Amino acid sequence: MTRTFRSIWSVLISLFLIMIPIQFYLAGHGAMEGANVATHVGDKGIHITRTIMSTAWDPHSAFGTLMLLVSLLILLVALGARLPRRLLGMTAGLFVLMVIQAIVLGAFNDSSSTRWIAAIHPVNALVIIGLAIALMVRGREYLPIARFRPAVGEPVAAGS
């Protein structure tokens, strides 16, 4: 049963890594789609207005919530997988960073006096990427396909 949970954990980490570039795309889409430039010609000359539509960021926000839920599922599976302490701690750290990313940092974007805190959002995303890659590298031995490869240093049988 532990082997099954470890395989599921490793597959979920892989899924999480696949979700990251999708989330970056949605952020870029929100930034480009959400920036509307309007030009008005009035008696005082040309006036350019730039507005940001909050709905352009909705897919990024919704997908971030989905990633938070996946990170929670990864943590719950890790507990069932009885992972080594270091991997379990790193997995818990991934969940904590996702809570900070999805809930805490977004809450500071409401006021101009706290936007500097919200601006940590992309930096935290880079830390999340690094941690997810480290988890995948350390957990690749638990991938279901790893059972069909010889271990490092193990001789390959003739005829294989």
- Concatenate the DSSP letters of all residues of 43-83 into one string: TTEEEEEEEE-GGGGHHHHHHHHHHHHHHHHHHHHHHHHT-
Total length of the chain = 160
160 belongs to a structural domain:
no
Question: Which range of residues forms the domain containing residue 101?
Answer: 2-144
Spatial distance between the Cα atoms of 43 and 16, rounded to a whole number of angstroms: 54
Q: Are 102 and 64 in contact (CB under 8 A)?
A: yes
156 belongs to a structural domain:
no
- Collapsing DSSP to helix, strand or coil, 50 comes out as strand
41 belongs to a structural domain:
yes
What confidence score (pLDDT) does residue 113 get? 80
149 belongs to a structural domain:
no
What pTM was computed for the model? 0.78
User: pLDDT digit of tens for each residue in the chain (160 aa)?
Assistant: 889 999 999 999 999 999 999 999 999 988 887 655 555 556 666 655 555 555 788 899 999 999 999 999 999 999 999 999 999 999 999 999 999 999 999 888 777 788 889 899 999 999 999 999 999 999 988 888 866 665 556 665 555 4
What confidence score (pLDDT) does residue 7 get? 93
The number of distinct structural domains making up the chain is 1
24 belongs to a structural domain:
yes
105 belongs to a structural domain:
yes
158 belongs to a structural domain:
no
